[in-house]
Chain A
């Protein structure tokens, strides 16, 4: 069974640009969560989607947004990039939100903002 797939794996952007990251969950998994990982703040929850609806959102500015498609694939977008947005962005999937924390993570998309 294929794992969680994230694209692109690496990308470099400049301040003010925007970026879109993609995540394909494990087949059959309908819940997708996104996390930001940085050396200073560690892993922080961004948002969770289930059935194309955002169920939870972390404490991030509105520049961070996401969506989920009918096939459960998800994208997240960061607009007006800032230097502090440089991070590893992790996507995780689970069968259902009620799995309460049993997440399967992808390898992440490493974003560098110059």
Chain B
């Protein structure tokens, strides 16, 4: 069965600190990987995605993620966080190519202190 693990439940950083959020998945076939973000009071929105090709993908607001197939990982990174990055971050994997049934991790709450 497909599953996604996010090991960090709550991360607290000061502004300008570097960020890395872990995501590991379990799936036996071809994967599409995603990071979604939910800012306080807002709806869930796509941050970045990986379908194929360059394993280092860049998303909005300076975020990037690296797909490491051998480690079944898709960690999210940002070199310097801002207070406005305070949000909940969800890693997700596509269960089947050609479908929109995502398997989500439990989320990581990021708090950035000014």
Residues of A participating in the B interface, judged by any CB pair closer than 8 Å: 3-4, 31, 33, 35, 42-45, 48, 55-56, 58, 90, 92, 94, 97-108
Residues of B within 8 Å of A108, CB to CB, are 43
Kindly report which residue of chain B lies nearest to residue A94, judged by CB atoms.
B100
Which residues B60-109 have CB closer than 8 A to chain A? 90, 92, 94-107
Which residues B26-52 have CB closer than 8 A to chain A? 32, 34, 36, 42-46, 49, 51
8 Å CB contact of A56 from B32, B36, B45, B99? B99
Across chains A and B, which 10 residue pairs bring their CB atoms closest together, nearest first? A43-B104, A105-B44, A42-B106, A45-B101, A101-B94, A56-B101, A105-B43, A107-B43, A33-B100, A100-B32
A92 touches B107 (CB 8 A): no
Give min CB distance, A51 to chain B, whole Å.
14
| Chain B residues bordering chain A, tally (CB within 8 A) | 26
8 Å CB contact of A103 from B96, B102, B105? B102
Selected A-B contacts with CB under 8 Å, 11 pairs: A33-B101, A43-B107, A48-B101, A92-B44, A97-B100, A99-B100, A101-B92, A101-B94, A104-B45, A104-B46, A105-B43
